[in-house]
Structure 1
Amino acid sequence: MIEIGIIGGTGYTAGELIRLIIHHPKVRINSVLSRSKAGEYIHSIHTDLIGEIEDMKFTDSFISNKIDIVFLCSGHGKSIKELKYLHNKVKVIDLSQDFRNMNKSVFQGRKFIYGLPELQKDIIKQSNNIANPGCFATAILLALLPLAKGNLLKNNIHISSITGSTGSGKQISDTNQFSWRNNNISTYKIFKHQHLQEITQTIHKLQKNFSSEIYFIPYRGNFSRGIIATVYTDSNYSLEKNQDIYKIFYKNHPFVKISDINIDMKQVINTNKCILHLMKEKNKIIIISIIDNLIKGASGQAIQNMNLLFNLEETCGLKLKSIRF
């Protein structure tokens, strides 16, 4: 059994990791670290785990050389601080944005690989340290990778995307309280969202001559989880030709599906899937992308990366059912 350690165990992404890992046939949770809740039962924070791991408590430290892989869930800017406590042979999957920038991906001798399996699965398999992509970036990049790979992005890219309140994490703020979110919607960080950096660098990795602009408008939604992104750009190809490009590109990627009919977000909630739907209007190709921000956009993708690191079946522990109604 692969021994798992989790640092930063009280947040949404850690909670999802625990829920998924306890049903994974090849791994075992060794320790879940939370310095603020050390000594308390895990199910006292993640209350849906009552009856699942009743005897396991949060710790304030663990012996990292007895663990095969550590998931860093402490949040942005904190992963760098946690690395110094880890044995250098321990594999690491970081769910923050600390190492997603290719220019800042090496730290204390560790080289972090951008962990989007549909982009570079073979490279991930040969790596030890993974920077898990951001949730918006995952939904948007999966909508764009086939076009970038085919050198088909010729003009500006326009994106509109909405995420649920769990995308903001557990920290209390004015914009993630129920009384503000309920029956409400708003834009934020227009054209300057932090995920734009990883989206742009990935597009350039595949299509080096891309020099147009990417305009991204994010929205806060009045629901708890999920992302739907609408992406459009110029295309001279027919809808059918574009559909063929996408189906061929994702043929060997089990979690990305192409739908010929319109899609809605509930189709992917509680799954590690991304579903794409393509439309053509005049000279614009329109791609709708849906994911669960906490699973394919965070914890599920982290487990997908772990499966690749340990040469397991990519879908192991991730054959999940959506909550349709």
Structure 2
Amino acid sequence: MPTSECFARVPPFPDQVPTVELQRVELSKLLSGDEAESEALFEACTGLGFFLLDLRGCAEGQGLLKETEAGFDVSREFYALSDEEKSKFPLLPSNLGYKPIGGTKIEDGRPDRCEIYSLPTDDLVGLAPPIRNPPPFEKSRPLLTSCAKHLHSVATTILTHLSAHLGLPPRTLSSMHALTERSPSNLRFLHMPPQRASAAQTSLMGHTDNGSVTVLFNVVGGLQVLDGTNGWRYVRPEPGHAVINLGDSMVQLTGGVVRSNMHRVVPAPGAQSESPRFSIAYVLKPPYACRMERLKGEGIPRGEEEEEEKEKVGTYEEFHAKKSKGIREGKNLVGSRGGKKTEKKVDVRVNEVMA
């Protein structure tokens, strides 16, 4: 999450609500090759599929915290525009651009309570012709380009450690996600307005991500993770940390070794419920042309189901399109994927959200 100064501007996250205990991993130790920290990362990726990444202990992390904090200011400027102005930048077929509140459905078929603007990484790093972005983003292009590159580096650092634990040749996974390859990776700005307690509903439906790694920053709470038999639990925002989770494509490529876990966003608890919720996410995804076949490594299981997968496997472009369609229609209630055994059913009710 951004710095402590940013957290001081909103009410504190309450202590009395149920939260999930996430593994904490330090970026500085990952960059230095610390084996124990790498083991902790792998344990988190094969267990809950979520962990906290502490960015405070190195120059790379501290610089990224400052960039994302500036990114929150850009996001607020955009979401202060009128609906008419924002609608001039409609969602593209690639799922990039502006998605208004109500643009997708939640679990019970009602419109969502979340608006999103997604900037393609290909655009920011010059791999594709630039798209037409709203003025707040366009005038901040140098900042956002730098931020996307640094977030991409963090995500691929995580993949480099996963490659080692899966018995793959060094940097296999990070090389598959190189910035030189066209992909639907994106820098995403989300806004969820406060809700009345009497009409509280899911802001963003329960889902698993369809990419490889998501790096998330937010100050106001509301993110919930499905914690095995414990059900939905809040993730407490922590200054100086990012929330990391893995997506479905990484489960597919590793034969189910790592977890892509169900998560959703609901109204923030306690006094934070009166504050708008802004978040920034970098969503790392494989190249469009990547074949979604499980990789061959000592830590990746082989079996009969692998042969069945080969008959169905396609490119990530096809994989991405199918999953995105399901999310838009509110049809992603399939539970968590990969990793250790977890829940059999998903309770989609919004409960204990306004405590």
| TM-score in same-fold range (> 0.5) | no
TM-score of the aligned structures, taking structure 1 as reference length: 0.27
Relative to its length, the structure with more strand (as a share) is: 1
The structure whose RCO (Cα within 8 Å, separation 6+) is larger is 2
